[in-house]
Structure 1
Amino acid sequence: MHILITGANRGIGRALADHYRSQGHTVTATARSPSAGELALDVTDPGSCAALGAHLEGRPIDLLICNAGLYLDKGQSLESGYPAHMWAETFATNVTGVFLTVQALLPQLRAAKPAKIAIISSQMASHTNAPGGSYIYRASKAAALNLGRNLAADLAPDGIAVGIYHPGWVRTDMGGDGATLSVDEAAAGLSDRFAALDMAMTGCFQTWDGRDHPY
């Protein structure tokens, strides 16, 4: 398979790239600031996304993993925090960036026959997980979930399955040292979910370990 992963220079993205390469797949890893041979891709920049699409012209993509994401609003104060620029930056990456990436790579996805899109969201996207705080991140991941559901509907005639996933609480820069999962555990679980994704499941919202998550 040819697998493209955004945000693959660290954390879950890098672990997924290593996992798939170890299985013999062809991996195109991308990052805003490449550090280990990734292709440069700023998912917030339409020109960067278009350039990647042109670079990959004629190369079908079997699995697109939209992993790039930001969590900037930890510990923000309701009274004085959550500045407008933080909302804009987060949504540009976590939501618009997913759409621009998919849009730019539609020819490669349609050429794969069949293809899959995996969107990394979060359990914090769910209306059932709303304890307060982290308003920007929660809202952006809820929007990514909604985006994925609607992409699933529009891409169904093309035979492109779309899944949305909670990767677990993972020990990364974002998840922190107290998280319960290693990046390798999360990557292994997610890869199993992506392998199981098909048109019968398109639009699903699942956890890394295979449980259906409430929307």
Structure 2
Amino acid sequence: MTILITGANRGIGKAMFDSYISQGADVIGTHRAPDAGAMRQLDVTDPASHAVLAGRLGDTAIDLLICNAGIYPDKGQTLNDGYPAEMWADGFATNVTGVFLTIQHLLPCVRRAQAGKIAIISSQMASDTRAPGGSYIYRASKAAALNLGRNLASDLAPEGISVGIYHPGWVRTDMGGDAAAIDTGQSARGLIARFAALSPATTGCFETFDGQVHPY
């Protein structure tokens, strides 16, 4: 089984990477730094970087593509004088366009696998029904990633490719903060179980790391 994880050098991505390695899977991780071991260089915002990675992968078959790379640029911003335009552009470039470019460039590899899967790490903050305010860039970009995933699920279903969208939990990372509810290991274990359960019958799902159906 071959798995590719974007943003695999830290946080939840690294925890998933390490867990799959321990299970004996063939895992390719990406990060923005130069190649190192099983980590490949990828700037998810840069189409040229995607093209280079896709070219290097060649005829590799990817059984599971995990779109994990993401940023939370507007943490602590205020409505009165925050959220500058360039911050919106950066947030969407990584959290939305970056996901799309990853899938677009690596889709030939996913197609080579039998019953390939794509997992998009979104957030409960993407939910339209859970709207406590604030974090407008992060919420809007993760909502867009959720919408992207559900539409990709429809388009790829005839090919037998399943797409799932997931809330990883409130996790103790640089993004989640020290007060978060769970650690990266708990999140990774739950997500890995969700990915294993993903199938054509559940494609387009929006689920939490612990298996709950999340409202859209």
TM-score range, shorter chain: over 0.9
Instruction: For residue 156 of structure 1, report the CA deviation from its aligned partner.
Output: 0.7
Quote the residue 2:3 is aligned against.
Answer: 3
In the aligned structure 2, how far is the partner of 1:14 from the partner of 1:118?
15
Indicate conservation of the 8 Å contact 1:70/1:93, yes or no. yes
Q: 2:135 aligned with 1:157, yes or no?
A: no
Instruction: For residue 33 of structure 1, report the CA deviation from its aligned partner.
Output: 2.3
Indicate conservation of the 8 Å contact 2:35/2:41, yes or no. no
Distance 1:198 1:42, change over 3 A: same
Return 5+ residue gaps in structure 2 as ranges: none
Which ranges of 4 or more aligned residues in structure 1 deviate by more than 6 Å?
none
In the aligned structure 2, how far is the partner of 1:45 from the partner of 1:174?
22
Quote the residue 2:181 is aligned against.
Answer: 180
Instruction: For residue 35 of structure 1, report the CA deviation from its aligned partner.
Output: 8.0
Give a deviation string over 1:107-128, Cα, whole Å, max 9, x none: 1000001100000000000011
Aligned to 1:133, what secondary structure does the other structure show?
Answer: coil
Distance 1:34 1:9, change over 3 A: farther
Within-5 A mapping of 1:94-173:
94-173=95-174
Compute the TM-score of the two structures, normalised by the length of structure 2. 0.98
In the aligned structure 1, how far is the partner of 2:29 from the partner of 2:206?
24
Number of equivalent positions: 215
Instruction: For residue 36 of structure 1, report the CA deviation from its aligned partner.
Output: 5.4
In the aligned structure 1, how far is the partner of 2:34 from the partner of 2:176?
21
Return 5+ residue gaps in structure 1 as ranges: none
Quote the residue 1:47 is aligned against.
Answer: 48
Q: Percent identity?
A: 70
What is the RMSD of the two structures over their aligned residues, measured on CA atoms? 0.9
In the aligned structure 2, how far is the partner of 1:160 from the partner of 1:75?
38
Quote the residue 1:207 is aligned against.
Answer: 208
